Amino acid sequence: MSNKLSSENERRFVEGVAAILTPWGVPSVAAQLYGYLLLCGPPASLDQITVALGISKSTASVAARLLESYTLVRRQREAGTKRALYAAADNYEAMIAQQNRLLDALARQLESGVGIVTSQDAGVRLNEMAHFYRLMRKAMDDTLDRWEQAKRL
């Protein structure tokens, strides 16, 4: 892929990724950056990103660091320079593992609330929610196991 979003299809793809991720709380520029990096072959520099998305270098840097913290993007150094290059992460499991930790924490928090509520209805709701999040966690673990098996084939 070139430095610029060269086709209408590329622009629509990037906008589509942003439309999906923004309601999940990912800032629009970061979501667009992720969409762009998904289309890139080799890792992209901040200069390439700023040209492609029409954003400032500082905005691109902040968005890239945020995506890195989400484990959606990986940063690497360009050989012989201090310049950072960014690529869409190919470790899908890391994001799920991070979500699993959050599901565990949420389930524990909900379970801790059962002992402090005075309403039986609230206690039932908290238990039910904790059970649901534990089931989701297990389903994601099962999916990760199947994914690992499929990768070995």
- The helix (H) or strand (E) run that includes residue 2 is none
Report how far residue 146's alpha carbon sits from residue 74's, in angstroms, rounded to the nearest whole number: 24
Check residue 4 and report its DSSP letter. S
Q: What is the dihedral of CA 54, 60, 63, 68, to 10 degrees?
A: 130
Residue 87's φ and ψ, nearest 5 degrees, are -140, 155
Question: What tens digit of pLDDT does each residue of 42-95 get?
Answer: 999 999 999 999 999 999 999 999 999 988 999 998 888 888 999 999 887 888
The residue whose two tokens read 């050989």 is 79
C-alpha angle 64-65-66 in degrees, rounded to nearest 5: 90
Is residue 91 classed as helix, strand or coil in its secondary structure?
A: coil
* Order of strands across the sheet that contains 44-45: 44-45, 84-88, 73-77
Predicted TM-score (pTM) of the model is 0.77
pLDDT of 97: 84
Q: Is residue 148 exposed (0-12), middle (13-18) or buried (19+ Cβ within 10 Å)? A: exposed
pLDDT of 68: 93
Average pLDDT over residues 23-44: 94
